[in-house]
Amino acid sequence: MKNKQDADAQPREAFLDIETTGLSPYQCDISVVGILTRGAYIGLVSGFDLTPEALCYVLKDVDILYTFNGRRFDIPFVRKKMEMDLEEGKAHIDVLYQCRSVGLRGGQKIVERTLCLSRSQECPDGRAAARLGKRWLKHGDLGALEILMRYNEDDLRNLQKIKEHVERCKNSGETAKDR
């Protein structure tokens, strides 16, 4: 018989995605850090509430952190710009590599199309997101920020769906193409 403590002892998962003004942490800035945990979206915004302390607080009880290409992008970018290690004290699973293990190739938007996942059409890709981030950071454009945050939330909700799809494939022994 499981008691309440056993149920609470399950690992707490969070999905993390950052939006930036470009690809280089040496020349570009973070505009939004989004976290999806227990079904709730939290967006930390540069120039408003994005601080190392706020990010640590949101992630304090997280045991497993999921990203898409985070090993090469999100984690190093945050390490450089915010001087913090998001992997400290938690497991980090980069779903990009999990996708490859079941035959899904490409970036997140390609995987989303392969799996027929929907998203808002206001911001089609990372390049457009970078332009929105620049409009927010340089001009305080709230409309751009709103679109950017919806894009970030779409990224995170679809990342969770991709992770769940990969787990189903692995549990059934199928590849993504078999489904």
Q: Decide which of 176 and 50 is more confident.
A: 50
Q: What are phi and psi of 60, to 5 degrees?
A: -60, -35
The model's confidence at residue 165, banded by pLDDT at 50, 70 and 90, is: very high
Mean pLDDT (the chain) is 93
CA-CA-CA-CA torsion sign (102, 78, 33, 62): positive
Full set of structural domains in the chain with CATH: 11-94+105-174 (3.30.420.10)
Strands 30-37 and 40-45: antiparallel
pLDDT band at 177 (very low <50, low <70, confident <90, very high): low
Could you list the beta-strand ranges (E) of the chain: 13-20, 30-37, 40-45, 64-67, 91-94
Backbone conformation region of residue 10, classed left if phi is above 0, alpha if psi is from -120 to 50, else beta:
beta
Average pLDDT over residues 60-80: 97
Residue 141 pLDDT class (50, 70, 90 cuts): very high
pLDDT of residue 3: 45
Over range 140-151, report the average pLDDT.
97
Edge-first strand order for the sheet with 30-37 is 40-45, 30-37, 13-20, 64-67, 91-94
- % of residues, the chain, pLDDT over 70: 93
Structure tokens at 45: 């915004």
